[in-house]
Structure 1
Amino acid sequence: MDLEDVARLRRARDTMDRFYAQPLDVPALAKAALMSPGHFSRSFRAAYGETPYSYLMTRRIERAKALLRRGDLSVTEVCFEVGCTSLGSFSSRFTELVGESPSAYRARSHGARGFVPACVEKVVTRPGGRRGKAVSSGEAPGGASP
């Protein structure tokens, strides 16, 4: 992969990070990256270790977790707020990545655990965690206590 392709993939990833709540699909992202959809998907996976769809859903679930912790929106409202159009698909993917349903996550206490820098919080609460396992918001990567 040449540097030009890497720059295009980074722009597509940045687009997903910024506009995760918008309807984004592989053909549109590929067009923006000046690649065919197939080449874009293969290149993205090679560069980032996951498909564009998986990356986008991880961003959406990260944002959904923050909205659910706030507690002022229903699961359905959160689903649509983060750009998902199917509550069933959102709930299934959330459960797969986080290890519990959005409703259970929302109902669980997320009380203050003391000050945690945002960069640490993002790593610790990222859906999928290390080695593809869900990392709950009360655990540090590797099983150590915060």
Structure 2
Amino acid sequence: MLRARDAMDRAYAQPLDVPALARIAHVSPAHFARTFRATFGETPHRYLQRRRVERAMFLLRETDRSITDICFEVGFGSPGTFSRTFRDVVGRSPREYRKQAVALDVPTCFTMAWMRPSA
């Protein structure tokens, strides 16, 4: 399970599916999905989405790149899916998040701790 999670952490922007991750963990896809959820408290898909959103949060805070560019860079296939997932995880849209992060003007370490998405 740790190998698969590490692969998701490294290659979060790549298209990763349960069968590919199960091969990394050397188990069947069904066993992988059940065991991953039992071990880490969320499904592999949700974990991967959260990792992508965390990276997007950093890019929104630290760069002036467009939201669409960030969406595709972190591995989402469409801006609509990105916005919906971002709102589900963070509680506000990417645009609202960027405005609030810019307005805060506090050290990044405090911003990251305060705005870290919940699982």
Q: Shared fold by TM > 0.5?
A: yes
Tell me what 2:90 maps to: 98
* Structure 2 residues not aligned, in runs of 5+: none
Specify which of 85, 109, 112 is matched with residue 105 of structure 2: 112
* Structure 1 residues not aligned, in runs of 5+: 1-8, 133-146
- Which of 1 and 2 has higher RCO (CA within 8 Å, sep 6+)? 2
Q: Percent identity?
A: 53
TM-score (norm. length: structure 2): 0.89
Tell me what 1:28 maps to: 20
Number of aligned residue pairs: 118
Greater per-residue helix proportion = 2
Cα RMSD over matched residues? 1.8
Q: Map of 1:44-83 to 2, 5 A cutoff? A: 44-83=36-75
Contact 1:71 1:106 in 2 (8 A): no
String of CA shifts for 1:104-141, please: whole Å, max 9, x gaps.
1123325432473xxx765433212xxx5xxxxxxxxx
Tell me what 1:125 maps to: 115
Contact 1:20 1:60 in 2 (8 A): yes
Rg larger for: 1
Distance of 1:16 and 1:22 partners within structure 2: 9
